[in-house]
Chain A
């Protein structure tokens, strides 16, 4: 049996109340997994733990068999994390930003430069490669961080709302690029509030609320279990009573 791209076993994280509660999850290589949940469900906390920015209180997280706590550097080498707000430096140009990313992930310069140029061209940023990011629109910033996430050809992509701010064409480009990475054996974990996106691109969907996994399976399996309902209906049926009862911070 092949090693899962991402494995979470009994992962818990508590702030003033539980944010993630005994979460078990496994994502295979070559799979796009959509993690859905209402605001404060624990999605971002889960992704931040996988990215090594938060340490879990209990449980283990492994990236391709490497424990993110025991060997964080090795685990991080294989993954890319894209937060819900684009993290980039206003006073750097996109090219300088990608050069920085290439340095952090120790990509050989000629290779990094070629990849950076290809990514910027594909995302329509090549003409803006020497402009500082401070004047960029939300969509351009998002494209820049997407390029950064793909630059080191990660085996696991952790993407928090990756399509936010993108126009239809850019959104299509990013989805295509993710599909290409998956075809090459990478795994993608994506969170989104746009359920149609999850329905369309994800191989499997997980729905969490209050840090607990409520439902897991392919869209077809979910529909079968919920009497042919739409994903929106399933999502609301599972999460609305819990959300109304109060949300945990994520």
Chain B
């Protein structure tokens, strides 16, 4: 049949959202889902209403609320940017379905708009829920104009999506796919890391410094400087800034879609055919040994995973504020805290590498068809990933051990057990028969990405108690073991 209208933006958006839903490992909604959502919303509202009531009692002025909104919006925008940048890379260059979609009888611009809207929704929905809950509470206790937080969050999500998609395409055109991935990971880390470091302001700054910063966040200045507070004023219901922000978001999204469409029309799809040449005139010398072959393969695949090094180094972002806080806390605090930190970081690195080794193995059946015991293949993954994690985490532990010798034994013991547990959790968390770069399905993520770090934290706490020589460490160690067993169990 001919003459049917092309797919609409809504149709494509539904498709994108369904894919995102399925990627999340979710299926059809059961009765329990709306019940869980309603329960969560009720809980969030109880917390938000309590917070809003206490803010009113503090006697905050509108300028105070605007300053608080500024902080909140910067945090939210940073985290949304972090997510939108990664999603833009996936949506344009990893999914490999864009070229196929573009062969359908509908404008490329429509496909890109749908994809951008999906990125905005994915990056913004959580903040719509969280900030929206606060908006409801502020609307009751402070001013109904606070409901403007909803459109402000939506506008920021759209801006983040438009900026991310344009940046990704620009970088890819200028620097190539691999460099683009690296830069995007760096910018994303910077955005996320700044938010994390920013959240440690209380631990890092003195009360006087904090008071100064708080005053600086209040709307002040004249001329263009006042524009800095337009988003937060929009969130507090100022009509002019709100309309301007919404207009800016839609214009940015429209311009980004048009520009990206042009870039793709002039060769943007050829990324799939672009090849990475290792070295132009290399002559690789084959080496003997099954173990060597297995380990070399694991090492090559893990280290060549896009963004892995960035993710691994990102662990250092967690270390920085902890060290500053420990330093300011005095000698009594330093040893336990700095001993516990590498335990957690080592555990997270071990889990990250194992998830990568499992999820990135595109041909698990290949090694099983070789004359090699399956146990060797598994052992090679463990050895390679443990060595990777140890390479990054051990130097940190050695430096800390030299600085604070009392930490050496508990810290190394903690790293050993936490790392071994994390390897098993990482292995159990990913089905080996599929091809993804990093991360896991959310069904698996609960065990891997949620229980894994909690178990790592329990081991870190155990180390903390061990350095303090407190028997409470036995309880946290037991908790870590139990969590690991739950996370590993299939």
For window 67-102 of chain A, which residues contact chain B by CB distance below 8 Å? 72-77, 81, 83, 87-93, 95-96, 98-102
Contacts of A112 in B (CB 8 A): 286
For window 267-285 of chain B, which residues contact chain A by CB distance below 8 Å? 272-282, 284-285
Task: Specify which of A87, A93, A131, A137 is in contact with B362 (CB 8 Å cutoff).
Answer: A87
- Do A128 and B284 touch (CB < 8 A)? no
**Bound form: Cα–Cα A108–B290 in Å:** 11
Interface residue B332 (Cβ < 8 Å from any Cβ of A): no
- Do B297 and A89 touch (CB < 8 A)? yes
**Bound form: Cα–Cα A226–B368 in Å:** 41
- Do A131 and B278 touch (CB < 8 A)? yes
Contacts of A76 in B (CB 8 A): 369-372
Cβ distance B355 to chain A, nearest Cβ, rounded Å: 16
**Bound form: Cα–Cα A46–B373 in Å:** 21
Question: Contact string, B340-376, partner A, CB cutoff 8 A, digits 1/0?
Answer: 0000000000000000000011110111111111000
Interface residue B130 (Cβ < 8 Å from any Cβ of A): no
**Bound form: Cα–Cα A103–B297 in Å:** 10
- Do B362 and A88 touch (CB < 8 A)? yes
- Nearest residue (CB) in B for A110 is B286
Interface residue B28 (Cβ < 8 Å from any Cβ of A): no
**Bound form: Cα–Cα A48–B282 in Å:** 36
**Bound form: Cα–Cα A75–B369 in Å:** 10
Contacts of A102 in B (CB 8 A): 286, 293
Given A53-B368, A109-B287, A132-B275, A103:B292 Cβ within 8 A: yes
Task: Specify which of B294, B300, B371 is in contact with A92 (CB 8 Å cutoff).
Answer: B300
- Nearest residue (CB) in A for B295 is A103
Given A91-B304, A113-B285, A135-B273, A103:B278 Cβ within 8 A: no
Interface residue A106 (Cβ < 8 Å from any Cβ of B): yes
Task: Specify which of A73, A96, A108 is in contact with B371 (CB 8 Å cutoff).
Answer: A73
**Bound form: Cα–Cα A52–B370 in Å:** 9
- Do B279 and A130 touch (CB < 8 A)? yes
- Nearest residue (CB) in A for B365 is A53
Contacts of B292 in A (CB 8 A): 103
Task: Specify which of A91, A96, A109, A116 is in contact with B288 (CB 8 Å cutoff).
Answer: A109
Given A131-B278, A135-B275, A81:B369 Cβ within 8 A: yes
Interface residue A235 (Cβ < 8 Å from any Cβ of B): no
Interface residue B305 (Cβ < 8 Å from any Cβ of A): yes
Contacts of A110 in B (CB 8 A): 286
Given A89-B362, A92-B300, A99:B287 Cβ within 8 A: yes
- Do B284 and A99 touch (CB < 8 A)? yes
- Do B293 and A100 touch (CB < 8 A)? yes
- Do A105 and B286 touch (CB < 8 A)? no
- Do B371 and A87 touch (CB < 8 A)? no
- Do A92 and B369 touch (CB < 8 A)? no
Instruction: Assign chain A's interface to a size class.
Output: 35 or more
Question: Contact string, A131-164, partner B, CB cutoff 8 A, digits 1/0?
Answer: 1101111000000000000000000000000000
Task: Specify which of B284, B289, B365 is in contact with A96 (CB 8 Å cutoff).
Answer: B284
Contacts of B304 in A (CB 8 A): 91, 132
- Do B305 and A109 touch (CB < 8 A)? no
**Bound form: Cα–Cα A75–B370 in Å:** 9
Question: Contact string, A115-134, partner B, CB cutoff 8 A, digits 1/0?
Answer: 01000000000001011101
- Do A135 and B274 touch (CB < 8 A)? yes
Interface residue A29 (Cβ < 8 Å from any Cβ of B): no
Cβ distance B59 to chain A, nearest Cβ, rounded Å: 59
Cβ distance A182 to chain B, nearest Cβ, rounded Å: 21
Cβ distance B288 to chain A, nearest Cβ, rounded Å: 5
Question: Contact string, A44-77, partner B, CB cutoff 8 A, digits 1/0?
Answer: 0000000111000000000000000000111111
- Do A95 and B297 touch (CB < 8 A)? no
Interface residue A169 (Cβ < 8 Å from any Cβ of B): no
- Do B278 and A93 touch (CB < 8 A)? yes
- Do A113 and B286 touch (CB < 8 A)? yes
**Bound form: Cα–Cα A89–B366 in Å:** 10
Interface residue A104 (Cβ < 8 Å from any Cβ of B): yes
Contacts of B284 in A (CB 8 A): 93, 95-96, 99, 130
Cβ distance B462 to chain A, nearest Cβ, rounded Å: 37
- Do A73 and B373 touch (CB < 8 A)? yes
Interface residue B199 (Cβ < 8 Å from any Cβ of A): no
Cβ distance A35 to chain B, nearest Cβ, rounded Å: 18
**Apart from A53-B368, A104-B370, what are 4 other A-B pairs with CB-CB below 8 Å?**
A87-B363, A88-B366, A89-B301, A103-B289
Which A residues contact B (CB, under 8 angstroms)?
51-53, 72-77, 81, 83, 87-93, 95-96, 98-106, 108-110, 112-113, 116, 128, 130-132, 134-137
Which B residues contact A (CB, under 8 angstroms)?
272-282, 284-290, 292-294, 296-297, 300-301, 304-305, 360-363, 365-373
3 closest A-B pairs (Cβ-Cβ)? A103-B293, A135-B275, A87-B363
Can you list 7 A-B contacts with CB-CB less than 8 angstroms, sorted by A residue number?
Answer: A52-B368, A74-B371, A77-B371, A112-B286, A113-B285, A132-B275, A132-B276
